Structure 1
Amino acid sequence: MAHMNYIADLLNIKDKHVQLQDDIMEEMHKGVRCKVLLGQLSYSLPACPHCGVANHSTQDMIKYGFDHTTIHLTHINFQPVLLKLKKQRYQCKHCRVVTTVPTSIVDKGCFISNDIKRTIIMELTEVQSMKLIAQHLNVSRYTVQCQLIKAGQTLSPKTWDLPEHLGIDEFKSVKQATSGMSCILMDAYNHTLLDIVLDRTQDALRDYFMRYSYEARMQVKTVTMDMYGPYYLFLQRIFPNAEIVIDRFHIVQLLNNTLNRYRIKVMNTIRYNRPRDYTKLKQLWKLIQKNRESLDFEDYHIHRLFDGLVTQKSMVNYMLSIDPRLEQVYHLVNDLKADIAMHHSEAFIYDLYETRKYVVPRKVRTTFQTLEKYLPAIENSLTYTLSNGIIEGTNNKIKNIKRSGYGYRNFNHLRFRILITQNLLVRQTKKRRPLFFKDENTTQTIVA
Structure 2
Amino acid sequence: MTYDTINILHLERFRDKIQLLETRLDKGTLIIELRFHKQEIICPVCHNMHIKFHSYQYKKIIHSISTHQKSIIRFHHRKYQCKQCHKIFYEHNPISDIYENISLYTKTSILNYLKDYNHTFTSAAIHYYVSIQTVINIFDRYVEAKRRKLPIVINIDEVFISRTHAYKYACVLFDFKGRKMIDLLPTRHKHYLIKYFSRIPKSELDQVEVVVMDMWTSYKEVVHLCMPKAKIAVDSFHLIRTLNEIIKRIRIDTMNKYKQHKSAPVHDDMYYYMLKKFHYFFLKNYEDIYDGKIHIRKMQAYWHKSIYFTTFFQLMMI
Q: Calculate the TM-score normalised by the size of structure 2.
A: 0.55
Which letter does structure 2 place at the counterpart of 1:156? Answer: A
Q: Could you tell me which residue of structure 2 aligns to residue 292 of structure 1? A: 286
Change (3 A) 1:33 1:168: closer
Spell out, residue by residue over 1:380-427, the C-alpha distance to the aligned partner (whole angstroms, 9 max, x if none).
Answer: xxxxxxxxxxxxxxxxxxxxxxxxxxxxxxxxxxxxxxxxxxxxxxxx
1:214 to 194, 199, 202: 202
* Residue 306 of structure 2 corresponds to residue 325 of structure 1: no
1:302 is aligned to 2:291: no
For residues 128 and 244 of structure 2, the distance between their equivalents in structure 1, rounded to whole angstroms, comes to 46
Q: Is the contact made by 2:110 and 2:135 (CA closer than 8 Å) also made in structure 1?
A: no
Match of 1:276 in 2: 270
Which of these residues, 153, 163, 176, is aligned with residue 166 of structure 2? 176
User: For 1:15-57, what per-residue CA distance to the aligned partner results, in whole angstroms no more than 9, with x for missing partners?
Assistant: xxxxxxxxxxxx96665699xxxxxxxxxxxxxxxxxxxxxxx
Map of 1:156 onto structure 2: 145
What amino acid is aligned across from residue 226 of structure 1 in structure 2?
A: D
CA contact (8 A) 1:168 1:223 kept: yes
Any idea what SS the aligned residue of 1:278 has?
A: helix
1:263 positional shift: 1.8
Partners of 2:194 and 2:226 within 8 A in 1? yes
Which secondary structure state, in structure 2, belongs to the residue aligned with residue 296 of structure 1? Answer: coil
Asked if structure 2 preserves the Cα contact closer than 8 Å seen for 1:73 and 1:116, the reply is no
Whole-angstrom distance in 1 between the partners of 2:66 and 2:138: 22
Partner of 2:273, secondary structure, is helix
Higher relative contact order (CA 8 A, sep 6+): 1
* Secondary structure in 1 matching 2:188: coil
Pairwise mapping of residues 131-142 of structure 1 onto structure 2 (< 5 A)? 132-135=126-129, 141=130
Which structure carries more strand by proportion?
2
**Alpha-carbon distance, 1:279 to partner:** 1.2
**Structure 1 residue ranges without an equivalent (≥5):** 1-26, 35-71, 81-109, 136-140, 327-448
Partner of 1:7: none
Q: How does 1:387-426 map to 2 (within 5 A)?
A: none
CA contact (8 A) 1:166 1:186 kept: yes
Look up the match of 1:444.
none
Q: 1:136-172, CA deviations, whole angstroms, 9 ceiling, x for partnerless residues?
A: xxxxx49x957973598556124x8322221112344
Amino acid at match of 1:281: L
Which residue of structure 2 lines up, in the alignment, with residue 231 of structure 1? 219
The whole-number CA distance in structure 1 between the counterparts of 2:135 and 2:286 is: 55
Cα deviation, residue 262, structure 1: 1.8
Residue type at the aligned position of 1:289: L
* CA–CA separation in structure 2 for the residues paired with 1:251 and 1:116: 40
Using a 3 Å threshold, how does the CA distance of structure 1 residues 267 and 154 change in structure 2: closer, same or farther? same
SS at match of 2:182: strand
1:275–1:124 distance in 2 versus 1, CA, 3 Å: same
State how 1:43-192 maps to structure 2 within 5 Å.
78=68, 118-119=112-113, 124-125=119-120, 127=122, 130=125, 132-135=126-129, 141=130, 149=138, 153-154=142-143, 156-158=145-147, 161-173=149-161, 175-177=165-167, 180-192=168-180
Shift of 1:212: 0.8
Residues 263-315 of structure 1, C-alpha deviations (whole Å, 9 max, x = no match)? 22221112225112211112211112323343332x33534134333344433
Q: CA 1:265/1:313 → structure 2, altered by over 3 Å: closer, same or farther? A: same
Change (3 A) 1:182 1:265: same
1:262 and 1:306, CA in 2 relative to 1: closer, same or farther beyond 3 A? same
Question: How far apart are residue 225 of structure 1 and its match?
Answer: 0.5
Alpha-carbon distance in 1 for matches of 2:169, 2:140: 24
Corresponding letter in the other structure for 2:175:
D
Aligned residues: 224
Residue pair 1:121, 1:148 contacting (<8 A) in 2 also = no
TM-score (norm 1): 0.41
Asked whether the equivalents of residues 280 and 305 of structure 1 are also in contact (C-alpha less than 8 Å), the reply is: no
| CA–CA distance in structure 2, aligned partners of residues 289 and 325 of structure 1 | 19
In percent, how many aligned pairs have the same letter?
21
